[in-house]
């Protein structure tokens, strides 16, 4: 490995110590468990205070996509990818529609998974099963993107040995992740998130400083781009791109707020005050993460040539390689930033892994396979599920090495997740919303989204229809069916008490 990446022994010692600390925290989380129950393993006894909650939300929300995907997209699109700042904030805005109320309900009804709310609200096994499948498929997509980014993080730094480094990265990092995740459950993952969130925040600030120190001010990078054939990437985005902006704000805002792992962190909050304060702080974090990732992409556009397609996601790694070769301080900061990138990847991937395992275990295995199974059995099945899932996705990530850009993977995930918006965001407020109508809307929305995304339609350009994500087209139909179906079938006598 030492010959693959241009890091010396001290750097590997630092990175190794960081990775070992994750395993140690997994062991501490294992020892700190209070009961062998799903609530303890997946929600840590609902005891997250403000500091843990804000850092775990931050580390979970800002992922490999936030670092490599956004920098790569800014390399391709220029300043037009400032939309990433907008859509990361939109997630926090959309939380306001349902998170505070969902938190109260989760306390009353002891929810563990997002589907627990749907079961309580609508009482429809079919709706719950379909919602579970939608969330598990979407999260698998997300987890796959994280694993691929782990590989890309090493690939970009390794230069001519990139392919081998990619494979080592995927296998090694996922192994560590699954060990500490299954040892300590959400408690270990939240504790590691505290470290990872702090390193991530520090790493982003260090990244901005080092880019300016190494390549000069942003104004110089912008002038370089203006003098190149890419000059249009400095100007305001075209009308078509602005339609995509609107689409991204809506689909990522709603879809991101419906991340199952984030919903479970809402459940795990110690109090509503802790939740509200955490989300208030999260409203400012796009400026110290997404914005800096865009600026990194702009520096790459100015000073790194020749990246195309999925390879553009390596732009940040290329920049880091240049920086570390030029000074000792740069070298040290690159090691810190590299650790921050690993933190972003692993904190998001471990949360997705645990969330998938909780939904599979509680909402599918515990309902449709072994109804009435003991909590200890369900917890054991959840851990086994995590190992199998991660092994399968790691193999897939290696097979799909050069296949897709991270942003493409991200788009498909949101196309699916956003179909759950009526069930959660509308259903939590409107007593008259009916389960049958929500189920029909969800089925139609998913069918439309997937057909448009993967079908051979000439009017679908770059995965979008006139700049609009297929998921939003599906959501329009989904929402209409849910509302009209509920109005038509409206009957008195049913009272959901939020």
Partner 1 sequence: MQTPQDRGARWWIGAIYAVLLVLVIPWYWPVGDTRHVYGLPLWAIVTLSAVLVTSVFTAWVYLGRSEDGSDDGPQGQPRGRAESRDGL
Residue 117: which residues within 8 A CB-CB, separation 6 or more? Answer: 102, 105, 106, 109, 111, 424, 428
- Between 318 and 434, CB nearer to partner 1: 434
Q: How far is the CB of 235 from partner 1 (least distance, A)?
A: 5
Residue 273: which residues within 8 A CB-CB, separation 6 or more? Answer: 50
| Part of the chain binding partner 1 (CB under 8 A), chosen from 6-14, 67-75, 117-125, 413-421 | 117-125
**Judged by CB under 8 A, which of 412, 434, 464, 469 binds partner 1?**
434
- Between 246 and 327, CB nearer to partner 1: 246
Task: Identify the residue whose tokens are 């390193």.
Answer: 199
| Part of the chain binding partner 1 (CB under 8 A), chosen from 18-26, 100-108, 158-166, 308-316 | 100-108
Residue 398: which residues within 8 A CB-CB, separation 6 or more? Answer: 151, 166, 167, 170, 171
Q: Does 403 participate in binding partner 1 (rule CB under 8 A)? A: no
Q: How far is the CB of 291 from partner 1 (least distance, A)?
A: 7
Q: Does 494 participate in binding partner 1 (rule CB under 8 A)? A: yes
**Judged by CB under 8 A, which of 52, 85, 356, 450 binds partner 1?**
85
For 50, the token pair is 């403000």
- Between 156 and 253, CB nearer to partner 1: 253
Taking the C-alpha atoms of residue 446 and residue 460, their distance in angstroms, rounded to an integer, is 17
**Judged by CB under 8 A, which of 34, 108, 368, 370 binds partner 1?**
108
Q: Does 181 participate in binding partner 1 (rule CB under 8 A)? A: no
- Residue 182: phi and psi, rounded to 5, are -85, -20
Asked whether 411 and 126 are in contact (CB, 8 A), the reply is no
Q: Where in 290-329 is the site for partner 1 (CB under 8 A)?
A: 291, 298
Q: Does 377 participate in binding partner 1 (rule CB under 8 A)? A: no
**Judged by CB under 8 A, which of 9, 160, 219, 229 binds partner 1?**
219
Residue 443: which residues within 8 A CB-CB, separation 6 or more? Answer: 130
Q: Does 481 participate in binding partner 1 (rule CB under 8 A)? A: no
| Part of the chain binding partner 1 (CB under 8 A), chosen from 129-137, 149-157, 268-276, 335-343 | 268-276
Q: How far is the CB of 43 from partner 1 (least distance, A)?
A: 12
**Residues binding partner 1: number (CB under 8 A):** 67
Q: Does 276 participate in binding partner 1 (rule CB under 8 A)? A: yes
Taking the C-alpha atoms of residue 205 and residue 285, their distance in angstroms, rounded to an integer, is 12
Q: Does 332 participate in binding partner 1 (rule CB under 8 A)? A: no
Q: Where in 333-372 is the site for partner 1 (CB under 8 A)?
A: none
Q: Does 436 participate in binding partner 1 (rule CB under 8 A)? A: yes
Q: Does 430 participate in binding partner 1 (rule CB under 8 A)? A: no
Residue 447: which residues within 8 A CB-CB, separation 6 or more? Answer: 474
Q: Does 399 participate in binding partner 1 (rule CB under 8 A)? A: no
Closest by Cα among 33, 426, 50, 60 to 264: 60
Q: Where in 120-179 is the site for partner 1 (CB under 8 A)?
A: 120-127
Q: Does 82 participate in binding partner 1 (rule CB under 8 A)? A: yes
| Part of the chain binding partner 1 (CB under 8 A), chosen from 63-71, 358-366, 457-465, 488-496 | 488-496
Q: Where in 50-79 is the site for partner 1 (CB under 8 A)?
A: 79
- Between 176 and 218, CB nearer to partner 1: 218
Closest by Cα among 402, 363, 376, 342 to 130: 363
Q: Does 457 participate in binding partner 1 (rule CB under 8 A)? A: no
Asked whether 129 and 362 are in contact (CB, 8 A), the reply is no
Site string for partner 1, 12-51 (x = CB under 8 A): ----------------------------------xx----
For 447, the token pair is 């069918």
Instruction: Report the DSSP beta bridge partners of residue 427.
Output: none
- Between 87 and 166, CB nearer to partner 1: 87
**Judged by CB under 8 A, which of 2, 17, 209, 280 binds partner 1?**
280
Q: How far is the CB of 16 from partner 1 (least distance, A)?
A: 37
Q: Where in 230-249 is the site for partner 1 (CB under 8 A)?
A: 231, 234-239, 242, 245-246, 249
| Part of the chain binding partner 1 (CB under 8 A), chosen from 189-197, 259-267, 281-289, 404-412 | 281-289
Q: Does 213 participate in binding partner 1 (rule CB under 8 A)? A: no
Closest by Cα among 420, 431, 425, 409 to 486: 431
Q: Does 488 participate in binding partner 1 (rule CB under 8 A)? A: no
Q: Which residues here bind partner 1, judged by CB under 8 A? A: 46-47, 79, 82, 85-86, 89, 92-93, 96, 100-101, 103-104, 107-110, 120-127, 217-222, 226, 231, 234-239, 242, 245-246, 249, 270-273, 276-277, 279-281, 283-284, 286-287, 291, 298, 434-436, 439, 494-497
């Amino acid at each position: 490995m030492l010959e693959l990446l241009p890091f010396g022994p001290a750097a590997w010692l630092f990175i190794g110590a960081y990775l070992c600390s994750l395993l140690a925290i997994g062991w501490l989380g294992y020892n700190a468990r209070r009961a062998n129950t799903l609530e303890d393993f997946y929600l840590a006894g609902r005891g997250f205070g403000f500091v843990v909650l804000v850092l775990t939300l931050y580390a979970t929300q800002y992922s490999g996509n936030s670092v490599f995907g956004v920098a790569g997209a800014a390399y391709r699109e220029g300043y037009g990818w400032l939309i990433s700042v907008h859509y990361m904030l939109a997630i926090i805005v959309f939380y306001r529609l349902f998170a505070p109320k969902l938190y109260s309900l989760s306390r009353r009804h002891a929810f563990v998974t997002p589907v627990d709310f749907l079961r309580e609200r609508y009482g429809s096994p079919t709706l719950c099963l379909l919602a579970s499948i939608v969330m598990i498929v979407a999260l698998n997509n997300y987890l796959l993107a994280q694993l691929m980014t782990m590989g890309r993080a090493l690939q970009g730094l390794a230069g001519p040995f990139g392919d081998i480094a990619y494979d080592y990265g995927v296998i090694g990092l996922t192994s560590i992740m699954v060990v500490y995740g299954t040892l300590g459950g959400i408690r270990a993952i939240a504790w590691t998130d505290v470290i990872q969130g702090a390193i991530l925040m520090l790493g982003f600030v260090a990244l901005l400083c080092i880019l300016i120190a190494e390549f000069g001010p942003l104004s110089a990078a912008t002038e370089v781009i203006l003098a190149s054939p890419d000059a249009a990437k400095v100007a305001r985005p075209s009308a078509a791109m602005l339609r995509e902006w609107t689409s991204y704000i809506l689909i990522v805002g709603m879809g991101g707020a419906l991340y199952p792992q984030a919903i479970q962190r809402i459940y795990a909050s110690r109090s509503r005050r802790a939740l509200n304060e955490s989300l208030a702080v999260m409203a400012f974090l796009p400026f110290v993460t997404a914005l800096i990732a865009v600026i990194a992409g702009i520096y790459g556009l100015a000073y790194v040539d020749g990246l195309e397609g999925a390879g553009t996601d390596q732009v940040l790694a290329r920049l880091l390689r240049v920086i570390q070769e030029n000074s000792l301080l740069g070298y040290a900061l690159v090691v810190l930033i590299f650790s921050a990138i690993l933190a972003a990847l692993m904190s998001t991937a471990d949360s997705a892994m645990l969330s998938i395992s909780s939904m599979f275990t509680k909402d599918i295995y515990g309902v449709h396979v072994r109804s009435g199974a003991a909590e200890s059995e369900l917890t054991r099945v959840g851990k086994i599920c995590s190992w199998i899932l991660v092994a399968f996705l790691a193999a897939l990530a290696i097979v799909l090495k050069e296949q897709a850009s991270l942003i493409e993977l991200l788009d498909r995930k949101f196309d699916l997740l956003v179909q759950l918006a009526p069930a959660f965001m509308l259903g939590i407020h409107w007593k008259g919303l009916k389960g049958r109508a929500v189920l029909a809307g969800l089925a139609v929305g998913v069918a439309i989204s997937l057909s448009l995304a993967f079908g051979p339609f000439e009017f679908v350009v770059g995965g979008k229809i006139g700049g609009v994500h297929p998921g939003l087209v599906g959501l329009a139909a989904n929402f209409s069916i849910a509302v009209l179906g509920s109005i038509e079938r409206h009957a008195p006598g049913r009272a959901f008490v939020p």
